[in-house]
């Protein structure tokens, strides 16, 4: 074929998602597999969101509200921010892509943590931009190095808080110290997909009045359990939101996803139940991993990164055969690390028992 895409597109490595349960059960002939790989909500979706989906199924022949009026105003009211500051996205990674589309070209570089969410690099390269990867320092974002590497050609700095895959957390004071070092014409995009799982939770957009280049990104995929509906949002200066609204797809969020997210925001009981489960099971799982001689790392997210001190790919494969899907971090540059999503109590217990059986055979 004579079709030839640009070189910067050829350099993109496709995003590889966690293994689906259906695929594992089909390949290995396993029933009742447990998935602790993709940081999904173990409780499922918000019940109020489920009810909303049922109620609006008969309206699927209608286009969604392109402006997202109801949902944007609900977010605005709940978090006391102007509706002009909010842009809805097909997941928060849609906001990442829109930022790159609007502010990145082949003369610009984008600073990001390494390892980090792969969509930072993919979205940057998609616009011909140059990814500048900053290695983690003690499994935390090296904010000092990120600030140091910022130059006149930098358009965006992506930070992840809490970080994936390490679970490390940036306190509000440290975030502000970082923002002070960054020129006002460089966007600092704070990816906060896991913020609800931190016991030190805060809203970074409270700093936005002082730092107009700050963009905060949130998702309904994790704490609200709506990963399958793909909806998130960004909070930003009205100038930036107006730019993103010029280039986003007119119906980038569906009717069902808008209605489900609207009701999920009202489901405070579900959110608290989710947070309580994660806080309780995260602590227990951390302790159980330590008992196995494994080194887990403190996490403010709904997962734990653990140093197995042996091949993570090997352990991952052996766990698959026992019906448990975790996530090897070898593709992230940590060949002996496993990332485990916090599941229900029985799922976590099954994982620990299976892991113990696997380790006993070494």
d(CA 203, CA 72): 17
- The pLDDT tens digits for 260-302 are 999 999 999 999 999 999 999 999 999 999 999 999 999 999 9
Q: What pLDDT, on the 0 to 100 scale, is given for residue 162?
A: 97
H or E element that contains 159: strand 154-160
> How does pLDDT run across 165-187, given as a tens digit for each residue?
999 999 999 999 999 999 999 99
Q: How far apart are CA 285 and CA 277, in angstroms?
A: 12
Residue 118, Cβ neighbours under 10 Å: how many?
18
Name the pLDDT band for 6 (thresholds 50, 70, 90). Answer: confident
pLDDT at 24: 63
Residue carrying the six token digits 């990001």: 112
Helix (H, G, I), strand (E, B) or coil at 172: helix
More confident residue, 104 or 19: 104
Task: Give the separation between CA 80 and CA 58, rounded to whole angstroms.
Answer: 33
CA separation for the pair 157, 94 (Å, rounded)? 16
- Percent of the chain residues topping a pLDDT of 70: 98
- The structure's pTM equals 0.93
Decide if 358 contacts 318 (C-beta within 8 A).
yes
Task: State residue 9's pLDDT score.
Answer: 80
- Digit-coded pLDDT (tens) for 302-329: 999 999 999 999 999 999 999 999 999 9
**CATH architecture under which domain 7-44+269-360 falls:** Alpha-Beta Complex (3.90)
Tell me how far apart the alpha carbons of residues 161 and 166 are, in angstroms, rounded to a whole number. 10
All structural domains of the chain with their residue ranges: 7-44+269-360, 47-267
At the topology level, CATH places domain 47-267 in 3.40.640
- Summarize the confidence of residues 69-86 as an average pLDDT: 97
């Amino acid at each position: 074929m004579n079709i030839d895409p640009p070189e910067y597109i050829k350099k993109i490595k496709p995003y590889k998602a966690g293994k689906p349960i259906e695929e594992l059960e089909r390949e290995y002939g396993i029933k009742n597999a447990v998935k602790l790989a993709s940081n999904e909500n173990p409780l499922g979706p918000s019940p109020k969101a489920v009810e909303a989906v049922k109620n609006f199924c008969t309206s699927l022949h209608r286009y969604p509200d392109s402006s997202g009026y109801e949902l944007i105003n609900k977010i605005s009211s709940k978090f006391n921010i102007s509706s002009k500051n909010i842009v809805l996205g097909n997941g928060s990674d849609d906001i990442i892509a829109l930022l790159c589309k609007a502010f990145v070209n082949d003369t610009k570089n984008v600073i990001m943590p390494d390892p980090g969410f792969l969509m930072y690099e993919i979205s940057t390269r998609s616009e011909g931009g140059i990814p500048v990867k900053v290695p983690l320092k003690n499994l935390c974002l090296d904010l000092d190095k990120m600030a140091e590497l910022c130059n006149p050609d930098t358009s965006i700095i992506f930070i992840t808080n809490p970080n994936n895959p390490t679970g490390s957390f940036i306190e509000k004071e440290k975030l502000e110290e970082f923002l002070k070092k960054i020129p006002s014409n460089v966007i600092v995009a704070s990816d906060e997909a896991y913020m609800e799982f931190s016991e030190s939770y805060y809203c970074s957009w409270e700093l936005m009045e002082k730092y107009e280049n700050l963009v905060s990104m949130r998702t309904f995929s994790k704490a609200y359990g709506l990963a399958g509906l793909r909806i998130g949002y960004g909070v930003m200066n009205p100038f930036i939101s107006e730019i993103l609204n010029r280039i986003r797809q007119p119906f980038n969020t569906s009717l069902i996803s808008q209605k489900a997210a609207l009701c999920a925001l009202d489901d405070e009981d579900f959110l608290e139940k989710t947070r309580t489960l994660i806080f309780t099971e995260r602590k227990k799982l951390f302790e159980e991993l330590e008992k196995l001689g494994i080194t887990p790392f403190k996490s403010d997210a709904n997962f734990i990164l653990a140093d197995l001190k042996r091949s993570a790919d090997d352990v991952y494969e052996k766990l698959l055969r026992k019906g448990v899907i975790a996530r090897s971090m070898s593709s992230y540059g940590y060949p002996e690390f496993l990332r485990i999503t916090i599941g229900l109590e029985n799922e976590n217990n099954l994982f620990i028992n299976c892991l113990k059986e696997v380790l006993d055979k070494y």
